[in-house]
Amino acid sequence: MILIYKFFKESFLFAINALRSNVLRTILTLSGVTIGIFSIISVFTLIDTLENSVRESVESLGNNVIYIQKWPWAPPEGETEYPWWRYMNRRVPGLDDYEQVKKRSQLAEAVCYVMASSRRLSFENNSFDKVAVMGVTHSFEDIWSFEIGSGRYFSPQESHNGTNITVLGADIAEELFQGTDPLDREVKLMGRRLRVVGVIQKQGTDMLGNSLDKNILIPVNFAKTMFNLRSESVQPFIMVKALPGYSSDDISDELAGIMRSIRRIKPQAENDFALNRISLVQKGLNDLFGVIDIAGWFIGGFSILVGGFGIANIMFVSVKERTRIIGIQKALGAKRRFILLQFLIESTALSLIGGLAGLLIIFLGVLVINLVLDTSIVLSLTNILKGLGISATIGILSGYLPAWKGSKMDPVEAINAL
How many structural domains comprise the chain?
Answer: 2
Q: Does residue 75 lie in a domain region?
A: no
Q: Which of 272, 294, 328 is the last residue of a domain?
A: 272
One domain, residues 113 and 225: yes
Q: Does residue 74 lie in a domain region?
A: no
166, containing H or E segment: strand 165-168
One domain, residues 132 and 155: yes
Q: What is the per-residue pLDDT for 138?
A: 93
What is the tens place of the pLDDT at every residue in 275-314?
988 766 666 666 666 777 777 677 667 767 777 777 777 7
One domain, residues 210 and 310: no
384's CB contacts (< 8 A; 6+ apart) are 41, 359
* CA 41 to the chain's CA centroid: 16
Q: Which of 272, 291, 316 is the last residue of a domain?
A: 272
Least confident of 163-167, 279-283, 327-331, 413-417: 279-283
One domain, residues 236 and 294: no
What is the tens place of the pLDDT at every residue in 91-136?
999 999 999 999 999 999 999 999 999 999 998 888 888 899 999 9
One domain, residues 192 and 164: yes
252's CB contacts (< 8 A; 6+ apart) are 66, 275, 277
CA nearest to 237, candidates 116, 401, 155: 116
Q: Are 224 and 162 in contact (CB under 8 A)?
A: yes
Q: Stretch 154-178: mean pLDDT, rounded? A: 92
Residue type, 392: A
One domain, residues 225 and 294: no
What is the tens place of the pLDDT at every residue in 242-265?
998 888 888 889 999 999 999 999
One domain, residues 124 and 227: yes
Least confident of 10-19, 44-53, 286-295, 330-339: 10-19
Question: d(Cα 116, Cα 136) in Å, to the nearest integer?
Answer: 9
Q: Are 199 and 168 in contact (CB under 8 A)?
A: yes
Least confident of 35-44, 68-77, 215-224: 35-44
Q: How confident is the model at residue 19 (pLDDT cuts 50, 70, 90)?
A: low
Q: Which of 272, 302, 330 is the last residue of a domain?
A: 272
Task: Please provide the size of the chain in residues.
Answer: 418
Residue type, 261: S
346, containing H or E segment: helix 336-373
Q: Does residue 86 lie in a domain region?
A: no
Q: Does residue 82 lie in a domain region?
A: no
CA nearest to 359, candidates 380, 390, 384: 384
CA nearest to 50, candidates 358, 298, 386, 375: 375
Positive or negative, the Cα torsion across 82, 87, 93, 97?
Answer: negative
One domain, residues 165 and 210: yes
Query: 51 lies in which domain range?
Result: 2-57+283-415
One domain, residues 185 and 233: yes
CA nearest to 304, candidates 397, 403, 401: 397
Quick check: pTM over 0.85? no
